[in-house]
């Protein structure tokens, strides 16, 4: 099981406790991304830090508490705040590096880091127990096996939440005490040039502050986003929406909803219109094949699905090494190899998480029960009905 870290207090104090408890893994995250940027962009870490500094103002404008969390993490981990900021904006700074290199050479920017993830939500009418399930595999560079933590946060200023995340980053996939669950996929389009805006991992963190699915959507739509990403949001009432977002404003957001009781997403734009030039298939050409496999495994003919069925789906290795459950490709350079780093199945109504701490086909899943930890009353509990 990946290390579990519990924090509480105000934003800076939560960050400080997180940094202190995850100090060694945060150091590993920073060292790994120093190597990644040198390899992929030819940038020294000082330049990465300098570029990251441009994102401080957009983060503060989006929510000052998120910058306070970053600064607290750095304090607790005993590192400079720019180091922690840099790994939180790694997606955007890498796009900036590649865009500038392409401009200098006269070529189009091309992503080369892995973008692979497979996510799904199964509506109550398709599950054995009549409850929504949200799930995903998160696939990333193999150094992440040494950096992932399970962060359990008690907040004074929002819902309590659990997120499974690289040490030092604010959030990835997770669940909060309002019953809002989040899964995500990386995307890339021609507009991804690393212009300063609200970063991907900060948006993930702000969605975990949502009291409702619509709050989560609002956090995305109302933000000047810096990079493309997909956000799959569901809740304890069985509502689910898939949100594809390109850099920019609300006009660059595209929504998808369950079909035949499921919503599926991988690493290419599915709902976007002709205005968008998708580069995702260049980066991850296996994406449509993983989507086809997801459709096969979740088709109505498969019958009602439960947690165990979804765990089996996340362990599926057809088309290896680039399967739903993927393994390192020996053709890739060592530091640039990637694999399924974790699998997760979230039951928002029960407040439970089923987690594979590693390649799911190898590790299996362990059950984390958060019925007590994620018990804080939420907006939905406080709303009273107005008499007709």
Q: Is 342 helix (H, G, I), strand (E, B) or coil?
A: strand
Residues 199 and 69 in one domain: no
Identify the pLDDT of residue 21.
99
Residue 10 lies in a domain: yes
Identify the pLDDT of residue 275.
85
Residues 264 and 145 in one domain: yes
Residues 221 and 310 in one domain: yes
Q: Which of 90, 108, 89 is nearest to 98 (CA)?
A: 108
Here the CATH number for the domain that contains residue 137 is 3.60.60.10
Residues 28 and 169 in one domain: no
For the cut 60, the answer to whether the pLDDT of residue 108 exceeds it is no
Residue 388 lies in a domain: no
Highest mean pLDDT: which range of 79-83, 331-335, 373-377: 79-83
The boundaries of the domain holding residue 33 are 4-105
Q: Give the chain's mean pLDDT.
A: 93
Identify the pLDDT of residue 112.
55
Q: Using 50, 70 and 90 to split pLDDT, how confident is the model at 382?
A: low
Residues 122 and 100 in one domain: no
Locate all alpha helices (DSSP H) within the chain, ordered by sequence: 11-21, 23-40, 45-53, 56-62, 64-77, 81-88, 90-105, 200-207, 213-221, 280-283, 287-298, 307-314, 360-363, 379-382
Asked if 187 and 238 count as a contact pair (C-beta separation under 8 A), the reply is no
Strand (E) positions, 257-373? 262-265, 338-347, 352-356, 366-369
d(CA 3, CA 245): 31
Residues 59 and 200 in one domain: no
Residues 98 and 158 in one domain: no
Residues 99 and 126 in one domain: no
The answer to which of 3-7, 73-77, 111-115, 330-334 has the lowest mean pLDDT is 111-115
Q: Using 50, 70 and 90 to split pLDDT, how confident is the model at 106?
A: low
Identify the pLDDT of residue 115.
62
Residues 201 and 271 in one domain: yes
Identify the pLDDT of residue 380.
63
Identify the pLDDT of residue 384.
42
Strand 4-7 to 148-153 pairing: parallel
**Tens digit of each residue's pLDDT (9 = 90 or more) over 210-260:** 999 999 999 999 999 999 999 999 999 999 999 999 999 999 999 999 999
Residues 222 and 78 in one domain: no
For the cut 90, the answer to whether the pLDDT of residue 142 exceeds it is yes
**Tens digit of each residue's pLDDT (9 = 90 or more) over 250-289:** 999 999 999 999 999 999 999 998 889 998 887 788 899 9
Residues 293 and 320 in one domain: yes
d(CA 373, CA 304): 29
Q: What residues form DSSP beta bridges with 101?
A: none
Total count of domains within the chain? 2
Asked if 311 and 324 count as a contact pair (C-beta separation under 8 A), the reply is no
Mean pLDDT of 180-204: 96
For the cut 70, the answer to whether the pLDDT of residue 137 exceeds it is yes
Identify the pLDDT of residue 1.
95
**Tens digit of each residue's pLDDT (9 = 90 or more) over 323-349:** 999 999 888 887 789 999 999 999 999
């Amino acid at each position: 099981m990946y290390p579990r870290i519990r924090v509480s207090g105000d934003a800076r104090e939560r960050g400080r406790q997180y940094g202190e408890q995850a100090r060694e893994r945060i150091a590993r995250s920073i060292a790994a991304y120093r190597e990644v940027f040198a390899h992929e962009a030819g940038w020294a870490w000082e330049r990465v830090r300098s570029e990251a500094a441009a994102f401080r103002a957009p983060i503060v404008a989006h929510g000052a508490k998120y910058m306070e969390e970053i600064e607290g993490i750095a304090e607790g981990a005993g590192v400079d705040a720019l180091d922690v900021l840099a790994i939180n904006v790694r997606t955007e700074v890498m796009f900036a590096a590649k865009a500038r290199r392409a401009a200098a050479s006269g070529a189009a920017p091309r992503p080369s880091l892995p973008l692979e993830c497979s996510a799904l939500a199964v509506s109550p009418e398709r599950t054995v127990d009549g409850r929504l399930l949200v799930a995903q595999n998160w696939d990333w560079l193999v150094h992440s096996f040494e950096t992932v933590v399970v962060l359990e946060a008690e907040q004074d200023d929002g819902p309590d939440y659990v997120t499974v995340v690289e040490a030092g980053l604010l959030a990835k996939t997770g669940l909060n005490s309002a019953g809002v669950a989040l899964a995500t996929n990386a995307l890339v389009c021609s507009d991804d040039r690393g212009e300063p805006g609200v970063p991907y991992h900060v948006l993930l963190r702000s969605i975990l502050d949502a009291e409702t699915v619509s709050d989560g959507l609002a956090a995305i739509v109302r933000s000047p986003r810096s990079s493309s990403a997909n956000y799959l949001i569901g809740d304890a009432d069985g509502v689910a929406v898939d949100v594809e977002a390109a850099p920019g404003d609300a006009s660059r957001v595209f929504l998808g909803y369950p079909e035949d009781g499921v919503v599926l997403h991988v690493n290419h734009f599915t709902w976007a219109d002709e205005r968008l030039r998708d580069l995702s298939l260049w980066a991850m050409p296996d994406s449509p094949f993983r989507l086809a496999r997801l459709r096969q495994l979740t088709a109505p003919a498969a019958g009602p699905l439960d947690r165990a069925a979804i765990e089996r789906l996340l362990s599926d290795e057809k088309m290896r090494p680039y399967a739903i459950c993927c393994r390192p490709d020996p053709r890739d350079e060592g530091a640039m190899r990637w694999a399924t780093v974790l699998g997760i199945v979230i039951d928002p109504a029960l407040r439970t998480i089923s987690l594979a701490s590693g390649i799911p086909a190898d590790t299996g899943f362990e059950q984390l029960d958060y019925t007590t930890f994620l018990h804080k009353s939420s907006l939905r509990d406080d709303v009273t009905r107005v008499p007709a």
